[in-house]
Amino acid sequence: MQVLQANKPFEIQEIELSTWLQRPVRNNFFELVIIKAGEGTQCINYNDYSYQAGSLFLLPPLKCHSFKITRPTQFVFLKFTSDFFQTNAHDTMNSSEWFKGASYILSNYNQMPGDIIKAAMDRQHIHTLIDLILKEQHNGSSNSTALIKSFMVSILEILLRNIKQNAFQISPATTEKDDRITKLLSYINEHISEPHLLKVEQLAKTFLLSPTYLSEFFRKKVNVSLREYILKTKLKLVEIRLLNSNDTLTEIANELGFTDVSHLSKTFKRYTGTSVRAFKQKGEYCILKRSSC
């Protein structure tokens, strides 16, 4: 395996394999994996998905992923690290906003198994950007890092667009497609830091449903109550920010609509089984955690 960049805002790896080897890589954020050539099956969270040249996947923050290789495969791994979102005087990107965007991707992509890009044009855009990143990295000029970060911001924008446009996973017992639940879930995730917009009365008004029907409809489609879904979505973001930002508990509590730090801490412990301090010391996700494949 060739590591082209390490211990910086990003890591790029190129490798060709005939047999998959468990990678000694621990992600707190996520990686984009690009299949340059080859065929096989990706296993992620007990879901199998066939891949071929051109396929694009997001890998989880823990080690629950593997590839069953049927034809020798050329992989490119592009890893987004938390350092990517640290602002310095030379950055032109709004690191805070992109951190929020990347957090949205991390907290929601698990609901989209398999190839994450649906639009052919977006797929071509990402492959073009990856080629530019690889060429720039091999070139190794003094301003390569800044230029590569700008390419990665463009990739983040494309990933965000695809995740927001594509359906969220709903209850396995529900077989019929219903665009209303897709739009409702997308709305909740996009406005998770605006609690006043997520009250059942406001959601009912926005989606032209009665509050009672909306609550029943949501539970039927998602197999969990509206309140529970919103709370767990918030807690996923709490985990991400605790492990990948310097935000204080007060800042996190205020932005995500918890009453205060005490409310956040008690809620976090109730759902994760661990205190905020112990969670940060261990450095591993709880709610976002994946079982081993």
| pLDDT tens string 16-35 | 999 988 766 555 667 888 99
* Confidence band for 275, pLDDT divided at 50, 70 and 90: very high
- 3 near 43, Cβ under 8 Å? no
Q: Which of 83-92, 121-130, 217-226, 253-262 has the weakest average pLDDT?
A: 83-92
Distance CA 289, CA 244 (A): 15
Q: Which residues contact 17 (CB under 8 A, 6 or more apart)?
A: 67, 69, 72, 73, 75
Q: What average pLDDT does range 156-180 have in this prediction?
A: 66
The region, left, alpha or beta by phi > 0 then psi within -120 to 50, assigned to residue 274 is: beta
- 79 near 11, Cβ under 8 Å? yes
- 13 near 2, Cβ under 8 Å? yes
Q: Which of 95-99, 179-183, 256-260, 281-285 has the weakest average pLDDT?
A: 95-99
- pLDDT tens sequence across 62-102: 556 788 999 999 999 888 776 776 655 455 556 677 677 77
Highest mean pLDDT among 31-45, 135-149, 197-211, 243-257: 197-211
At residue 117, φ and ψ (nearest 5 deg) are: -100, 125
* Confidence band for 150, pLDDT divided at 50, 70 and 90: confident
Q: What is the pLDDT of residue 220?
A: 92
Is the pLDDT at 104 greater than 90? The verdict is no
Residue 256 identity:
L
Which of residues 119 and 95 earns the better pLDDT score? 119
- 287 near 236, Cβ under 8 Å? yes
Which of residues 270 and 180 earns the better pLDDT score? 270
- 293 near 65, Cβ under 8 Å? yes
Q: Is 29 exposed, middle or buried (0-12, 13-18, 19+ CB in 10 A)?
A: buried
Q: What is the pLDDT of residue 3?
A: 41
- pLDDT tens sequence across 180-228: 888 898 899 889 989 899 999 999 999 999 999 999 999 998 899 999 9
Q: What is the pLDDT of residue 137?
A: 83
Q: What is the pLDDT of residue 53?
A: 93
Q: Where are the beta strands (DSSP E) in the chain?
A: 2-5, 10-17, 30-44, 47-51, 56-59, 65-80
Q: What is the pLDDT of residue 131?
A: 92
Which of residues 91 and 1 earns the better pLDDT score? 91
Locate 137 and state its tokens.
């990295």
Distance CA 96, CA 87 (A): 8
Ordered by where they begin, the domains of the chain are 2-165 (2.60.120.280), 179-282 (1.10.10.60)
Is the pLDDT at 140 greater than 80? The verdict is no
Q: Is 193 exposed, middle or buried (0-12, 13-18, 19+ CB in 10 A)?
A: middle
| C-alpha dihedral sign at 151, 33, 2, 98 | positive
Q: What is the pLDDT of residue 188?
A: 92
